[in-house]
Structure 1
Amino acid sequence: MTEARMDTDLIIAGGGLAGATLALAVARVVPELRVTVVESFPLSPDALPEDYQPSYDARSTALAWGSRVIFEELGLWSELSEHATPIQHIHVSDRGRFGATRLHAKDHHQEALGYVADNRWMGLCLMRALLAANVRWEAPAEVVDMMPLNQGVRVSIRKDGEEQQLTGQCLVVADGGRSGLREKLGFQPRTVDYGQNALIANVTTSEAHQFTAFERFTKSGPMAMLPQGSPARAGHDSALVWTLDDHALDALLEQTDEDKCRSLQDRFGWRLGRITRIGQCNHYPLKLTTVDEAVRPGVVLVGNAAHALHPVAGQGFNLALRGLMALVEQFRMATDEGVSIGSLSVLSEYQRRHRQDWQQTVQFSDSLIRVFGQSLPPLALARDAGLVGLDLVPAAKRWFARKAMGTGGRKPVMPSVKATEESARYEP
């Protein structure tokens, strides 16, 4: 089957943050590719509000500095930053022990180490940008199956109760790890169950956060408090990520809001003064899920479909975003060379280039959980010494800061930046 007979070039299963960002990046970087997004939730320009105000219970995502750079490349940051609170300081500590380390943006000549962005606002910004781009939407609809072809794929889509076929060069699975499409296509994920749950809520404290993100390691697991609110004025609201086992989670959910604040105060401490309010509590089980071989001819997994991490270090979406841009770079080079974007050589080269990043990020995140999840006195003393060492040794502190900021030397992939002579060449 030739490219001219294809219905589209790129089919993206999932129009959430990962899928929508990929669609926008391809539209900006490789505009000659036709993009179709298949999303299970209805999408309409009428749903975009003219005046947006986040609610108290709005969910948010931690964006590393490197992710800001990516959104700047896509021309989205100036709008997105309207509801993105800067993280100017990071304080990492071991609850009840002396170990601690501190990072400050000014020490790295940055205005922020990262940001806490409102999820719904990010989605609205992406939708507004995509409405002006050459992107086709099939929604509400879902991808239910795929068949490889000689020059691409045939995707089965269920829409309005009926099944229809769509052909393209490549299918990108960006619908998360819970849809079942990944397993249906034959990918085998590896899962490590941490035996814990993440409780997500927004909280208010008596003292302003001063744009500080707190990472606290406790006997029951890590917790994070991330600054929220105005990008210009330090407020009193923070986004809470609290790790709890099943028993502790059940007991906490039965408490009144006042008692929840007391329980949180006991675990977090008084660095932000009194905890005066806690909002709607959501929770989900914590697992590390990875797929060693996330590509096949004509299909590639991205985002949570490829790797889902513990939220302890806020690395999940940032890792996914770097992977998306690495994939777009391969699409651009393949298109320049007249090679199908779904060819195994193209997708394998993407996986090769992205593998070191995701392996190191997974190891970094998983190691934090295992090291700080140990309560034996010798290990507790060793990690306290490690935190103090990070605070005192400049080289170690710079390494830790680079991990937090998500800056790994990624090259920009906008059209003005040409591939170097060292770029891989593909065989048709």
Structure 2
Amino acid sequence: TALSNGSRRIFEGLGVWPLIERDATPIRRIHVSDQGRFGFARIDAAQQGLEALGYVVINRVMGAALWRRLGETNVTVFAPARVTAAEAAPGSRAIHCELDSGPAVLEARLVVAADGARSVVREAAGIGAQHWEYDQVAIIANVFTQRFHDHVAYERFTPSGPLAMLPMSEGRVGLIWTLAPQVAAEVLELADAQFLERLQAAFGFRLGRLTRVGVRHRYPLSLTRADAHIAERLAVIGNAAQALHPIAGQGFNLGLRDAASLAEVLADARRDQADGFDPGEQPVLERYRAWRSADRQGIVRFTDGLVRVFTQPFGPVKLLRDVGMLAFDLMPPAKNLLSQLSLGAAGKIPRLARGAPL
């Protein structure tokens, strides 16, 4: 997972960052290019006055750190668990779930739906979602390279879709290769040597020879947007609110800002209301909804727009995007605006993402 600087600060505030910092690989430069064409763009952390544009963290490492910190709190964890139904109750919301010990009903004055794009909790609250299929599949794998990545993240746009190489530890890069479903199926069947040959042809030799590939995984790409982000005693965050194409690496960071914003709204309400604090009352939830609206809409449109622009096969569109990339590469203000957007530093920023306590 690629973490923005804002996400790093959120993890610092939660005491998670010290547990993953050693395994986090900084992204100091981003290089974007269009295969077989003249368009390219570069973003440099030093030119933005930053130590890094972001960090790549292995999901397993991040998950272990989050579980460890959670175990140090007074939070009661029910896991594994499967939600089977959810419903509003007087002054609360009830969650029906299956635990190892059998069925259970949990009630709370506020429930947060954070159970993914196909959220059972969101749907049970009567909140629908808009869903678009991109007719693309992402192939994910670790790749070893002849040359050290030098902390550069590469995004290469190809006729079949974007190909990203993210810097990782131990001389590896993280591959996210977007292909049409039928092409992805064919590529996944290739032996490692043939797979690397095909990948080399698409990516080029900026990292020298691609020497080894790990286990390959695939998942279909789509865009899902919830029709609403609050309901009676319910807040919707993360992929349950919006599930994005990985082209700009913004999905997890956007969801983390959802969580940090909701936490801040609740912390402020608790201070303001003292003994009468009710986390699920409508005015509190409305503040969360209003705050997150602009950030969500901006990132969703930005990400979806990138997908559509860089998958257009028409010559005039290709020419315009190449000229646009070259113009962007020569305009520091545009780079600063884009880097601020991608770092989660546009609009109202949660206190945790600024490095301040709740």
TM tier, shorter chain? over 0.9
Task: State the one-letter code of the partner of 2:103.
Answer: E
Within the candidate set 70, 95, 107, 1:130 is matched to 70
Report which stretch shifted further, 328-337 or 262-271. Answer: 328-337
In the alignment, what sits opposite 1:345?
Answer: 283
Deviation track 1:362-389 (CA, whole Å, cap 9, x = no partner) reads 0111111111111211111100011011
Distance in 2 of aligned mates of 1:215 and 1:153: 44
How do 1:170-319 residues align onto structure 2 when only pairs under 5 Å count?
Answer: 170-178=110-118, 180-229=120-169, 236-319=171-254
Deviation track 1:200-240 (CA, whole Å, cap 9, x = no partner) reads 011011111000000111100011000000xxxxx531000
Unmatched segments (≥5 aa) in structure 2: none
In the alignment, what sits opposite 1:335?
Answer: 270
Task: State the one-letter code of the partner of 1:267.
Answer: A
Give how far 1:417 is off.
6.4
Cα-Cα RMSD: 1.7
Distance in 2 of aligned mates of 1:351 and 1:310: 23
Distance in 2 of aligned mates of 1:413 and 1:143: 30
In the alignment, what sits opposite 2:351?
Answer: 412
| Kept in 1: contact 2:258–2:292 (CA 8 A) | yes
Deviation track 1:21-74 (CA, whole Å, cap 9, x = no partner) reads xxxxxxxxxxxxxxxxxxxxxxxxxxxxxxxxxxxxxxxx00011111111122
Query: SS at 2:128's partner residue?
Result: coil
1:363 is the counterpart of 2:301: yes
Deviation track 1:171-204 (CA, whole Å, cap 9, x = no partner) reads 1111212354432332211011101111101101
Distance in 2 of aligned mates of 1:166 and 1:398: 46
Unmatched segments (≥5 aa) in structure 1: 1-60, 230-234, 420-428
1:76 is the counterpart of 2:31: no
Deviating above 6 A after TM superposition, structure 1's stretches of 4 or more consecutive aligned residues are 416-419
Distance in 2 of aligned mates of 1:82 and 1:146: 40
Output the TM-score relative to the length of structure 2: 0.94
| Kept in 2: contact 1:73–1:412 (CA 8 A) | no
In the alignment, what sits opposite 1:9?
Answer: none
| Kept in 2: contact 1:151–1:340 (CA 8 A) | no
In the alignment, what sits opposite 1:153?
Answer: 93
Report which stretch shifted further, 158-167 or 327-336. Answer: 158-167
Distance in 2 of aligned mates of 1:213 and 1:281: 20
Distance in 2 of aligned mates of 1:391 and 1:201: 29
Task: State the one-letter code of the partner of 2:226.
Answer: V
Give how far 1:127 is off.
1.4
| Aligned residues with identical type, % of pairs | 42
Give how far 1:418 is off.
8.9
In the alignment, what sits opposite 1:141?
Answer: 81
Give how far 1:115 is off.
0.3
Within the candidate set 91, 99, 102, 1:162 is matched to 102
